[in-house]
Structure 1
Amino acid sequence: MPKAKKSSKRQKFDYNRDRKKLKKKFIKKYNPRIEHPQIRNAWDDNKSMARNLQEMGLAFDPNRALPVKKQGLLGEGAESRAAGVVTKPYILHHLQEEASLPEKDTKTLSSDLIEFVQHMIREHKDDYKAMARDEKNYYQDTPKQIKRKINEYKRCHPRHFDDFVNSLGATQPMTQ
């Protein structure tokens, strides 16, 4: 079997390579940037990733953190592994507090869609078939699609919708 061509060639120093840049590139790849400031401050570069996460009370391998119980002959479950010593519990508490905060619904609708919905309600009240035949229905939405858009407007802007319906002086309220 023939040998590889470059195996017998002597290694030469490559003057065109910047060794300092190579080392920085390797370190950057080996230690990626941690976005969360609490974790970044508690991170120890001299320890492994698994050890750092274990000290913070976080799981490196979810299969080891929550093992699947194997059924034996007598139905015995597998014993759980020790979690290890948590020396930095404040990070875990901070992450739990952050996760328990309610997420604010920031969805909004375009002004064109709001204008379209208001026009349809103003002209046709809750007659979705008539809305579908309206000349302002440029995209030829079906009655169900128009109903969905109106419900989306109700959900995203409930106060605006109530004010709009009250300003019309509607005798009968909009039905779902």
Structure 2
Amino acid sequence: MPKAKGKNRRHKYSYNLNRKRLYRSARRRAAPRIACSHIRQAWDPTKSVAQNLAEMGLAGDPNKAVPIPKKKRLVRKQLVRKPYVLNEMEYEASLPEKKSNTLSRDLIDYVRYMIQNHGENYKVSTGCPRHPVA
């Protein structure tokens, strides 16, 4: 199979290109990483942000989602094609939050060991040099 014409030349470094600006503009053009896994899985890259959010039942603009009624006007409902995204996010938000104000498992085991061996005698358990055990 013959090679394409002009593909076997030596690549030359272009000194008049700003590599930092090239990298920055490429990052700016690239799609951002969506942190929420439910939204990321249901995202359609061929559609706009507003279309994707409307299909999931989410709002892109809170002012348009819950407008302040100035006068009576007809508000049309948008068709939610991917309601499972909203349901999964609501379920995840309703789960109880993990308590993070507890001590580590190692520290709890250490304190339990010290209490079993020394009781309430904290001077022995800390090994305090100023207050030797009588």
- Normalised by the shorter chain, which TM-score bucket? 0.5 to 0.7
How far the C-alpha of 1:62 sits from its partner, in A, is 1.2
The SS at the match of 1:79 is: coil
The SS at the match of 1:47 is: coil
Structure 1 residues 14 and 67: CA distance shift in structure 2, 3 A? farther
Q: Deviations over 1:106-128 (max 9, x none)?
A: 2147x8xxxxxxxxxx9xxxxxx
Q: Deviations over 1:129-164 (max 9, x none)?
A: xxxxxxxxxxxxxxxxxxxxxxxxxxxxxxxxxxxx
Aligned to 1:61: 61
Structure 1 residues 57 and 66: CA distance shift in structure 2, 3 A? same
Aligned to 2:88: 94
Structure 1 residues 63 and 91: CA distance shift in structure 2, 3 A? same
Amino acid at match of 2:43: W
How far the C-alpha of 1:43 sits from its partner, in A, is 1.2
The structure with the greater share of residues assigned to helix is: 1
Q: Whose relative contact order is higher, 1 or 2, with alpha carbons under 8 Å and at least 6 apart?
A: 2
How far the C-alpha of 1:100 sits from its partner, in A, is 1.1
Please report the TM-score for the alignment, with normalisation by the length of structure 2.
Answer: 0.55
Structure 1 residues 14 and 66: CA distance shift in structure 2, 3 A? farther
Match of 1:25 among 2, 24, 27: 27
Aligned to 1:35: 35
Aligned to 1:78: 72
Separation (CA, whole Å) in 2 of partners of 1:49 and 1:103: 30
- Between the two proteins, the alignment pairs up a number of residues equal to 93
Separation (CA, whole Å) in 1 of partners of 2:92 and 2:74: 28
Amino acid at match of 1:53: L
Aligned to 1:136: none
> What percentage of aligned pairs have identical amino acids?
43
How far the C-alpha of 1:87 sits from its partner, in A, is 1.1
Separation (CA, whole Å) in 2 of partners of 1:107 and 1:80: 50
Q: Where does structure 2 lack aligned partners over 5 or more consecutive residues?
A: 1-13, 108-119, 121-134
Please report the TM-score for the alignment, with normalisation by the length of structure 1.
Answer: 0.43
**RMSD value over aligned CA atoms?**
3.1
Separation (CA, whole Å) in 2 of partners of 1:22 and 1:42: 28
Aligned to 1:52: 52
